[in-house]
A and B are shown apart, each in its own frame.
Chain A
Amino acid sequence: MGNQNIIMEAKNIESDRLKNINFKLFEGEIVTLIGPSGAGKSSLLMLLNRLEDPKKGEITYRNKNINEYEMVKLRKEVGMVFQSSSLFDGTVEDNLKYGPSLFGEWDHNRGKELLEIVQLPVDYLSKDVEELSGGEKQRIAFARTLANRPDVLLLDEVTSALDLKNVELMEKFLKDIIPNQVRAIMMVTHDIKQAERLGNRTFFMDEKEIAEQGDTSQMLRNPTTESLRAFLEEGTIDGT
Chain B
Amino acid sequence: MAPEISNTSMFFLIFFVLIPVSLSYFYALGLGKSIFWSSLRGVTQLFLIGYLLTYLFSLEAFTGISIMLTVMIVVASLHASKKGEGIPKVKIITFLVIVIIELFVLAMWLGFDMIAFQPDQVIPMSGMVIGNSMVAIGLALERMKSEFKESKGKIIAALSLGAKPEQASKILIKKIVKSAMIPNVDGLKTIGLVQLPGMMTGLILGGVAPIEAIRYQIVISLSIFASVSLSAMLVTVICYRFFFNNNQQLIPITEK
Taking A99-B161, A102-B167, A145-B161 as contacts, is the C-beta distance between A71 and B156 under 8 angstroms?
no
Contact (Cβ within 8 A) A89 B171: yes
Which residue on A lies nearest to B156, using beta carbons?
A51
In chain B, positions 142-162 with a C-beta closer than 8 Å to chain A are 153-154, 156-162
Which residue on B lies nearest to A154, using beta carbons?
B160
Distance in angstroms from B226 CB to nearest chain A CB is 28
Taking A51-B249, A51-B250, A71-B248 as contacts, is the C-beta distance between A86 and B161 under 8 angstroms?
no
Contact (Cβ within 8 A) A75 B157: no
Taking A71-B248, A89-B171 as contacts, is the C-beta distance between A51 and B160 under 8 angstroms?
yes
Contact (Cβ within 8 A) B162 A86: no
Q: How large is the interface on A (under 10, 10 to 19, 20 to 34, 35 or more residues)?
A: 20 to 34
Contact (Cβ within 8 A) A99 B162: yes
Which residue on A lies nearest to B167, using beta carbons?
A102
Chain A 135-173 per-residue mask, 1 if CB under 8 angstroms from chain B, else 0:
000000100110010000000000000000000000000
Chain A 95-128 per-residue mask, 1 if CB under 8 angstroms from chain B, else 0:
0001100110000000000000000000000000
Contact (Cβ within 8 A) A88 B158: yes
- Within 8 Å CB of A73, what residues of B? 162
Contact (Cβ within 8 A) B249 A79: no
- Within 8 Å CB of B161, what residues of A? 75-76, 79, 98-99, 102, 144-145, 148
Distance in angstroms from A199 CB to nearest chain B CB is 22
Distance in angstroms from B111 CB to nearest chain A CB is 41
Distance in angstroms from B245 CB to nearest chain A CB is 9
- Within 8 Å CB of A88, what residues of B? 154, 157-158, 171
- Within 8 Å CB of A141, what residues of B? 157
Contact (Cβ within 8 A) B164 A86: no
Distance in angstroms from A101 CB to nearest chain B CB is 10
- Within 8 Å CB of B248, what residues of A? 50, 71
Contact (Cβ within 8 A) A72 B154: no
Can you offer 13 A-B residue contacts whose CB atoms are under 8 A?
A50-B247, A51-B249, A53-B249, A75-B162, A82-B157, A82-B160, A88-B154, A102-B162, A144-B157, A144-B161, A145-B160, A145-B161, A148-B162
Q: Given contacts A49-B160, A75-B159, A82-B156, list 13 more A-B pairs with CB under 8 A.
A: A53-B249, A71-B162, A71-B164, A71-B248, A72-B162, A72-B164, A80-B160, A84-B153, A88-B158, A89-B171, A98-B158, A99-B161, A102-B167
List residues of chain A with CB under 8 Å of any chain B CB: 49-53, 71-73, 75-76, 79-80, 82, 84, 86-89, 98-99, 102-103, 141, 144-145, 148
List residues of chain B with CB under 8 Å of any chain A CB: 153-154, 156-164, 167, 171, 247-250
